[in-house]
Amino acid sequence: MDTIKSTSFQRLSTNIGIDIGGSLVKIVLVDDVTGVGHDEGSENTTKEGNSDQHPFEAYIRAQVSQAQEVELPAGWQARVIECGNTANMGSAQQKGAAALRVLVFPTGDLEQVIDKIVLSHGEVTQRTKICIAATGGGAHKFQSKLADKLHVEMAMVNELKAVSGGWRFDVLQSGAINGKVEYPALICNVGTGVSLISVDEQGEFERVSGSGLGGATFWGLVKRLTKYTNFDNAVMAAHTSGNAGRADTLVGDIYGIETSKEIGMPPDLVAGFLGKLDSPNLSDADIVAALLRMITNNLGQLAVFQARLTGAQSVWFTGGFFQSGSADSQGAMGDASGIIQGAVARAVVFWSAGKVQSLFPQNTSILGALGAVIALDKE
């Protein structure tokens, strides 16, 4: 068991965290708002318009600043998150606000981003070397390239430690569940794949299970089987016009509607996911709806069964799969994120008979990057 430590964002050893997954790159740049953060004399202290800032940091700031005016490429998102309640992460005497500048984009675009930074800033010299907190499997893959081309030194943080620490900060600073978190807490982190992490009240955490059926499975099948190339558009189409029952084999397809009722099984209960995939007149929206139901149903089942084993009364769902480019901080049901969260919540209700609660942190996609900064600061 490892232990989660926390921070109040005072004198951070680095103000940039990056989480490079198999599908998405998540970057968080922590800025002080009310004088809390880096010392004025710190070599890492940089503000908007400071010509001495590192090109990598300058790129993050520029992308986030322009996001309100320029349409971002498909799969990209940029936003600023205000954190005003950081005192409960450190000493009760330390109070400070922070602004998190967030940039998320497909991992496949990272090499292009690196080349663009080099092209726009010229040769990045050794003098401008910067250290950032890094986590995720891709951080190891791209470590040499970021070091050689951008002089970015990556201080590696265990991925589970980063996610757990980011989750702890997020739920406490946002006052989740009226400021109370029930322990043991179970985190179901869904990115490329799935990891389930148990966290106790002392901050000790452990990976207790996982699955290879995650966000990459869903999106890979969507791209292979349908015309959709935009994640949000695919999910929205499934929600508005898709019918998963046209692609899934249902109990009613096997027994007939009346017989299904006689044996006590709902006729619309799934007997086999994608069992009618070769049906004529099947729309792309139908296929996406069936894929989404298959993945979220499996997530709900896995989470509920693990909750029973660990004694958790609720499951916190985190990861990029639950926060798309159109998501607001509340995961509104009108956007793709809200649709996915709703589907998982229904699956949890089904598999637990309503006894396990599904919860979603406000900033679920960036918890790894945020947690990497926190973890590195305390090591």
Architecture of domain 180-247+282-360: 2-Layer Sandwich (3.30)
What confidence score (pLDDT) does residue 10 get? 52
Q: CA separation (Å) from 303 to 108, 165, 172, 217?
A: 29, 20, 22, 17
**pLDDT at residue 40 tops 50:** no
Which CATH number is correct for 2-174+366-378, 3.30.70.270, 1.10.3720.10, 1.10.443.10, 3.30.420.510? Answer: 3.30.420.510
CB 71 within 8 A of CB 103: no
Query: What integer is the mean pLDDT of 256-261?
Result: 87
**CATH 3.30.420.40 spans which residues of the chain?**
180-247+282-360
CA dihedral 300, 322, 211, 357 (to 10 degrees): -30
Mean pLDDT across the chain, nearest whole number?
Answer: 84
Poorest-confidence range of 169-173, 202-206, 218-222?
A: 169-173
φ, ψ at 271 (rounded to 5°)? -95, -30
Place of tokens 């309100």: 68
Q: CA separation (Å) from 243 to 187, 238, 246, 248, 297?
A: 30, 7, 6, 9, 16
What confidence score (pLDDT) does residue 109 get? 95
H-helix or E-strand spanning residue 156: strand 152-156
pLDDT band at 123 (very low <50, low <70, confident <90, very high): low
Query: What integer is the mean pLDDT of 238-257?
Result: 95
Residue-wise pLDDT for 41-71, tens only, equals 344 444 444 556 889 999 999 999 988 788 8
**CATH 3.30.420.510 spans which residues of the chain?**
2-174+366-378
pLDDT band at 170 (very low <50, low <70, confident <90, very high): confident
Query: What integer is the mean pLDDT of 323-338?
Result: 59
Q: 146 is written with which tokens?
A: 């970021």
**pLDDT at residue 92 tops 50:** no
Query: What integer is the mean pLDDT of 100-112?
Result: 93
**pLDDT at residue 35 tops 80:** no
**pLDDT at residue 118 tops 60:** yes
pTM of the prediction? 0.82
